[in-house]
Structure 1
Amino acid sequence: MTDPIVRPPKKDPQKVTRPPELPPLQRSRAALAMSAAASRGAFELQCCKACGAWMYPARDACPECLSVDLAWKPAPDGGEVIAETTIRTTVDLYFRQRTPWRVAMVKLDCGPSVVCHLHGDVEVPGRVRMTAQLDKGGNAVIMALPAKRTPNMADDPELRELTASPKHRRVLVTDGRSAVGQAVVEALVNAGAALVFVGIAEPWKPYPGEDRLKAHENVQTFAFDLTDTTSVQDLAGEIGGKTDILINTADHVRPGGILSAPGMITAKDSFDVNVFGLQRLAQAFGPGMVGRGADGTNSAAAFLDVLPVYALANTPDFGIHSATAAARLSMLQCLRSEMRAGGVRVMSVFTGPIEDDWRQPVPPPKVAPGQIAKAVIAALEGGIEDSFVGDVAKDVATRFRQDAKVLERELGA
């Protein structure tokens, strides 16, 4: 069984920080579809529409009937380990830093045999549950997990490399005044985070939940104004080298579209917090996190943003807010490419309408802060790049993948 990881001792500043290396990056265009599915936490394989055969690795034609009509579909995740080995030496720089590394040949219930990463708790021969994870380079890899959950399962070194678990890591939550931010802090403490840094705008003003937030021993609050470049840079200078995971929960919400918006000042405030605030965070904390992407147990692991699902398509009732969300999403896509060099994941947690003061007129279903916090932890522990919280967010995401233009018409109506 996997031994539980222990909190690492304070790092010796004179020791060399291990430079981040990436696993092999080359993938075919067909194989990238599997990475897209894995980014949403789905295990999908190609299936031939003509004969129904499942296949792996990705192909351009069915090996059974030569049809080119192939579709990516959720696949049965059961399988049987038929062989395993442990790699102890390799010329690949990424794996050389992480050996020993366990791999296996698994016969899937749906047909194909695959070579995959093997969790340390799997007994050979034995049943396994297959999962598709994103590696440090952002590509999908397959890992065989125990068929039933085992103690300390998430602490397996190979699985931890494929996730961004907050256990024993130091996390910055940017907005501790909001209900969402406070719920995320509570969830991180329960998930085993070593320290949770919490940004508080205008800390001289009292706010609901302040006493409970400060009651946690491993929570530290800091004065932090996301609209002030100096404030962001000062905090990065103080804790940037310690931040392993950054979670942005700040969100400036006001109702109104382009013609019905209260005015340019409100629009500027929204962009300053939601878009330029994200940019300030990335520029202040990003370089340090990229440099610490391979720094042992508490290496820099993830940059996560909580944003509305209307980043995918504008809802006119909150048109300006939707526009800032779309800009955030585009910025995250750029940031994901830039931070990949250090093996740091950039994650998005898309939410439906949140139950708060600004969205009281919005009809249900709405999302509670606790749901968002639970989704944030699930995304980190599962290494999921894009998560969707609530019925509205999941419905919008499904319709967006079907036809973005139809969704635009539906939301606009």
Structure 2
Amino acid sequence: MQIENAVALVTGANGGIGKHYTETLLALGATRIYAGARKISSLDDLVAIDPDRIIPVALDITDETTVEAAALQCSDVNLLINNAGIGLLKGFISAPNLSAARSEMEVNYFGTLAMCRAFAPVLKANGGGAVINMLSILGRVNFPMNASYSASKGAGYILTQGVRAELAAQNTLVIGVMPATVDTPVSQDFPPPKVAPETVVQAALQAVVDGVEDVYPGEQAETMAAQLLSDPKGLEKAMAAMLPQPA
């Protein structure tokens, strides 16, 4: 599949990585980019870049009514980019309650699943196309400082494998993108190394062209992915040293 002339939908388009997805899709010649966000007014500056090709969509991926409405509105999509997500920096035991864990799972797992379910028939009708799920290397190994986020991204990793299996027969490529720390405002207090959002987006879109299913953009993610193969317990122990602060 080529990005040129593609019709894409980007969830969480008002965020750091989502904005880069939209701008890169424009530069690569996508015919139309639907930019999804809960508050459509938050997309004004993005849409202003090219109002003819960037179409704002009111979309809360945790609300199946708006998900279904988006599938009807964006019936020509052949590239779905599930970028919307949250991370609330809570541990499992140290968190004061389960609200962060529930919110992360609702967005990062159930929201992504709802989007895949709603757009699977759309993609099929348009020749198969591709799905990009923005995951994290922390879905492969737990990071205690952001433990429940890791769990939600782990659920997203397994979700991606299962959706890939179910949609293979309709010729839909399903890609999991697993960066480590991305250099966005959300991670401004995290120590380096950080991968540029542009690098993440470029790697993900190149995977669409090349038919690659698992993407680890950036040196940190590549190193951790290699260690998961060579010394998974060592990586787990190294990550376990970074504990959350007491509530």
Instruction: Settle same-fold status: TM greater than 0.5.
Output: yes
**Aligned equivalents of 2:4, 2:122: Cα separation in 1:** 20
Is the partner of 2:66 in helix, strand or coil? helix
Is the partner of 1:268 in helix, strand or coil? helix
Cα offset for 1:269?
Answer: 1.1
Where does residue 121 of structure 2 map in the other structure? 287
Where does residue 169 of structure 2 map in the other structure? 341
Superposed CA offset, 1:292-311 (max 9, x none): 33xxxxxx310111111111
Given candidates 164, 170, 190, the residue that maps to 2:27 is 190
Cα offset for 1:348?
Answer: 1.0
**Aligned equivalents of 1:374, 1:309: Cα separation in 2:** 17
Matches within 5 A, 1:213-362: 213-216=47-50, 217-239=52-74, 241-293=75-127, 300-362=128-190
Where does residue 175 of structure 1 map in the other structure? 12
Is the partner of 1:196 in helix, strand or coil? strand
Change (3 A) 1:342 1:179: same
Matches within 5 A, 1:332-411: 332-411=160-239
Q: Show structure 1 runs of 4+ deviating over 4 A.
A: none
Cα offset for 1:262?
Answer: 4.5
Is the partner of 2:14 in helix, strand or coil? coil
Where does residue 45 of structure 2 map in the other structure? 211
Unaligned runs of 5+ in 1: 1-163, 294-299
> Does the Cα contact within 8 Å between 1:214 and 1:220 map onto a contact in 2?
no
**Aligned equivalents of 2:76, 2:125: Cα separation in 1:** 12
**AA partner of residue 174 (structure 1):** T
**Aligned equivalents of 2:157, 2:8: Cα separation in 1:** 22
Is the partner of 1:304 in helix, strand or coil? strand
**Aligned equivalents of 1:167, 1:356: Cα separation in 2:** 27
**AA partner of residue 341 (structure 1):** A
Change (3 A) 1:167 1:262: farther
**Aligned equivalents of 2:57, 2:6: Cα separation in 1:** 18
**Aligned equivalents of 1:376, 1:382: Cα separation in 2:** 10
Of structures 1 and 2, the one with the larger relative CO (CA 8 A, separation 6+) is 2
Q: TM-score, normalization: structure 1? A: 0.56
Superposed CA offset, 1:372-394 (max 9, x none): 22112221222211111122111
Change (3 A) 1:246 1:400: same
Please tell me the root mean square deviation across aligned C-alpha atoms, in Å: 1.6
Unaligned runs of 5+ in 2: 242-247
Is the partner of 1:253 in helix, strand or coil? coil
Cα offset for 1:215?
Answer: 2.4
Cα offset for 1:203?
Answer: 2.0
**Aligned equivalents of 1:213, 1:368: Cα separation in 2:** 23
**Aligned equivalents of 1:243, 1:340: Cα separation in 2:** 17
Cα offset for 1:410?
Answer: 2.1
Identify, as 1 or 2, the structure richer in helix. 2
**Aligned equivalents of 1:262, 1:192: Cα separation in 2:** 47
Cα offset for 1:291?
Answer: 4.1
